[in-house]
Structure 1
Amino acid sequence: MEPILTLDRVTVRSYLEAEAASSLAEDVLDGLTRPFKELPPKHFYDAAGADLFDRICDQPEYYPTRAERTILQLQSGEIARLTGAAELVELGSGTAAKTRVLLDALRDAGTLRRYVPFDVTENMVREVATSIASEYDDVEVHGIVGDFERHLEHVPDPVDGEPRIVAFLGGTIGNFTPGSRRGFLRGMGSLLGDDDHLLLGTDLVKDPAVLEAAYDDAAGVTAAFNRNVLRVVNRELDADFDPEAFDHVAFFDREHEWIEMRLRAQRRMLVPIRGLGMEVAFEAREEVRTEISAKFTPERLAADLAAAGLDLVAVLTDPEERFALSLSRPAGPERPPGRFHR
């Protein structure tokens, strides 16, 4: 694969091309022909969706980003000490705003040699790759434009076999159902050598009112973000959804301990999706599930990591214990159990 950007210390490669449109078409065809309609949350993140998510992170109700940043600010030095990492691979890197705290700690420890941002949005990967290279002298940047569910094999081998961190932050692991979640954890584990670590962000179970407010902010930004997936389908598949004809719904499922986001049709409608040669019928108040966001207990986190062949090293939480960053590594004999830090 020829790089799409090559500069001093910067390489960016894309593995999407026509595959992104193909993935959307497959997901829409599969999800909207089910008895209970679904669309996967990865299609939220076109340019408009990414901007809306940035605005969500600034809403007073949305605590996860602030809590995770607090952990990084308090514990990045400890993460650098525990891992000795020369490389940071970040899946779903986005703007890498929080990541710079960890990159600073690795640089200050004298170990940082390469950063690998991996994201589905090409412009974002280009911008992040060039800005990190300019901010961190002598650090190489290898950007990957791709779908982390499909393209993990394109993550490069570690620099000279030195230790690395594979980071999956923001609680995005909660978007997977339990079986898929453990499968994806195994996929990330396949990127790790014996001296490497997985740094995983997980939102914690808490008061349902706090959780539901985080996904249904008073300013309506999350509602706009949710409806934007219909605009993506309209644009990419020549559909005729009226996003304003769908209500935003968010609630905490106490049985599964996850948040669900849905779009609820306000009336009966028949929506053509010309790119697929089909029409989709909706009854009044019929819902499309667009996201789950699982919340974790310590026991669930440890069990999921163990099922993926990973040993828990440490769990770091913010002072209010709203969010957690865990460090784990490939399972091995006679390793001590993980420990919790605040």
Structure 2
Amino acid sequence: MDAHPKPEILLAPGALDAALRADVRAGLTATPKTLPPKWFYDERGSALFDRITRLEEYYPTRRERAVLTERAAEVAALTGARTLVELGAGSGEKTRLLLDALDLDTYVPVDVSGEFLAEAAAKIAADYPGLLVRPVVADLEEHLAALPSGPRPLVAFLGGTIGNMTPAERHRFLTAVRGLLGPDGAFLLGADLVKDTGRLVRAYHDAEGVTAAFNRNVLRVINERLDADFDPDAFAHVAVWNEAEEWIEMRLRALRPQTVHVRALDLTVAFADGEEMRTEISAKFRPAGLKEELTAAGFDVSVLWTDDDGDFSVTIATPASV
């Protein structure tokens, strides 16, 4: 097989720049102000998030890995997957647990960052020479229906990333995944669970300040790509538990009154002292509620596993019979 698989590009030229411009304009002119978490992830942001996953306070990565380590053989037995489509593939570290257990013909890693994806795909192809690796550069909000698949597909969406979506966004996303599977596919979903509020907040507000740097990085991205003049040090990192929605909110709080110019958008934005701008939600789930959402999107839940402490869930769901 090709040791340096060339990514298939579904993302139109300039699409990410156009999306950034639209998101920043809409978010900075909204009340209250918001920014989507997808813009954390330039090279610096990706490195910071990698550090976050290794922090003592940040349990989700360790807990999900523990479940996959214990259950990968059962995933193989229950799904009989021949094709693995991984949405938001990232570095592929946890993927290897599945690749070692599954009897696959094809691996389709999907990510929005082409350079990062190509590097990760090349490493997988080199380490699994009998596997066809087909990396795809795509936006999960736009291109799910166009993704390549194969016989007996298993679509994986790991890391608890489903929690970054609102309930309406989750329903649209899950329904689109259901359409991708065909009659003999399965869906593997990693989702964080509701737990002690103190632990949840600490996971997003670590003592070392790595998450704070990650949160403020979105301002650096806007400065660099849209010729803005945010002072990241003029914003404090905030992480709070929203009890009504059962999600963590990350925010940036202005430490003084300030005016920001986003020159590429010809946009001037005022921040009041103490004004907060939401940059991420991270919803936490209850098993019963997660099953209800999957059922509403056209799935039957085959199994829902958790780690020994009940912190994190990994679910296998299949298309509901009509």
Match of 1:149 among 141, 148, 154: 141
Q: TM-score w.r.t. structure 1 length?
A: 0.92
SS at match of 2:136: strand
Match of 2:155 among 160, 166, 174: 166
Match of 1:291 among 266, 280, 283: 280
Match of 2:123 among 124, 128, 131: 131
Structure 1: runs of 5 or more not aligned:
1-5, 334-342
**What is the CA-CA distance between 1:11 and the residue it aligns to?**
3.5
**What is the CA-CA distance between 1:185 and the residue it aligns to?**
0.7
Structure 2: runs of 5 or more not aligned:
none
Match of 1:78 among 36, 59, 74: 74
Q: Counterpart in 2 of 1:11?
A: 6
Is the 1:11–1:141 contact (alpha carbons within 8 Å) kept by the matching residues of 2? Answer: no
RMSD of aligned C-alpha atoms?
A: 1.2
The more displaced of 144-153 and 67-76 is 144-153
* Deviation digits for residues 150-200 of structure 1 (CA, Å, limit 9, x no counterpart): 122331131xxx211100000000111111111111111111011111101
SS at match of 1:256: coil
Which letter maps to 2:216?
R
In the alignment, the residues of structure 2 paired with residue 190 and residue 254 of structure 1 have an alpha-carbon distance, to the nearest angstrom, of 33
Moved over 6 A (4+): none
Q: Counterpart in 1 of 2:110?
A: 118
Q: Counterpart in 2 of 1:44?
A: 40
In the alignment, the residues of structure 2 paired with residue 8 and residue 228 of structure 1 have an alpha-carbon distance, to the nearest angstrom, of 34
Structure 1 residue 200 corresponds to structure 2 residue 189 = yes
Match of 2:65 among 47, 69, 92: 69
Which letter maps to 2:8?
R
Give the 5 Å matches for 1:271-310.
271-310=260-299
* Deviation digits for residues 128-166 of structure 1 (CA, Å, limit 9, x no counterpart): 1111111112101111112111122331131xxx21110
Which letter maps to 2:278?
R
Which letter maps to 2:239?
A
Is the 1:43–1:229 contact (alpha carbons within 8 Å) kept by the matching residues of 2? Answer: yes
Give the 5 Å matches for 1:179-328.
179-328=168-317
Is the 1:9–1:139 contact (alpha carbons within 8 Å) kept by the matching residues of 2? Answer: no
In the alignment, the residues of structure 1 paired with residue 40 and residue 112 of structure 2 have an alpha-carbon distance, to the nearest angstrom, of 11
* Deviation digits for residues 17-39 of structure 1 (CA, Å, limit 9, x no counterpart): 31101000000011110111000
Structure 1 residue 101 corresponds to structure 2 residue 76 = no
**What is the CA-CA distance between 1:273 and the residue it aligns to?**
0.2
Is the 1:9–1:140 contact (alpha carbons within 8 Å) kept by the matching residues of 2? Answer: no
In the alignment, the residues of structure 2 paired with residue 135 and residue 7 of structure 1 have an alpha-carbon distance, to the nearest angstrom, of 11
Number of residue pairs the alignment of both structures matches: 321
In the alignment, the residues of structure 1 paired with residue 84 and residue 255 of structure 2 have an alpha-carbon distance, to the nearest angstrom, of 45
**What is the CA-CA distance between 1:263 and the residue it aligns to?**
0.3
SS at match of 1:11: coil
Report sequence identity in percent: 51
